[in-house]
Amino acid sequence: MLKVKHVIVCGHYGCSGVQAALGGKRIGLSDNWLRHVSGCARKTLNPCWREFRTGPSRLAKLCELNVIEQVVNVAQTTIMREARERGQELTVHGWIYGLKDGFLP
Ligand SMILES: [Zn+2]
């Protein structure tokens, strides 16, 4: 209705929500959006993800993967589908923010 043209999904490195999901902890409402994180973690078991299996780089990579998953989730909502069916110009962007340095790669 508002003719929004861009939707930005912005995650951040060091996300405690992603970390909690990895540890199987429930944190409330965000659980609905984070339930795909464990699926992301499984993807990192692929041999080409070897360097990201442990340590801080794993969490960073999972934060990035989570943004990608959430972009897909947003793109599949009925709101987005109906907008596309109306021919509305609409793009979903995935961003990730560095809390330590303010960098937005
Ligand atoms: Zn977070």
CATH label of the domain that carries residue 89: 3.40.1050.10
pLDDT digits (tens, 9 = 90+) for 5-51: 999 999 999 888 888 877 767 777 666 666 677 666 666 666 766 66
Distance 65 CA to ligand 1 centre (A): 13
DSSP three-state, residue 20: helix
pLDDT reported for residue 62 = 86
**How does residue 85 score in pLDDT terms, banded at 50, 70 and 90?**
very high
In the chain, the N- to C-terminal Cα span, in Å, equals 31
Distance 20 CA to ligand 1 centre (A): 10
Q: pTM score, two decimals?
A: 0.77
pLDDT tops 80 at residue 75 = yes
- Residue 51 domain flag: yes
Distance 88 CA to ligand 1 centre (A): 31
Distance 79 CA to ligand 1 centre (A): 24
Distance 12 CA to ligand 1 centre (A): 6
- What residue numbers bound the domain in which 78 lies? 6-97
- Residue 18 domain flag: yes
pLDDT tops 70 at residue 95 = yes
pLDDT reported for residue 19 = 82
**How does residue 104 score in pLDDT terms, banded at 50, 70 and 90?**
confident
Number of structural domains the chain divides into: 1
Distance 84 CA to ligand 1 centre (A): 29
DSSP three-state, residue 2: coil
Distance 86 CA to ligand 1 centre (A): 33
- Residue 82 domain flag: yes
**Percentage of the residues of the chain whose pLDDT score is greater than 70:** 73
pLDDT reported for residue 41 = 66
pLDDT reported for residue 97 = 94
- Decide: 12 and 98 in contact? Cβ < 8 Å: yes
- Residue 103 domain flag: no
Distance 85 CA to ligand 1 centre (A): 32
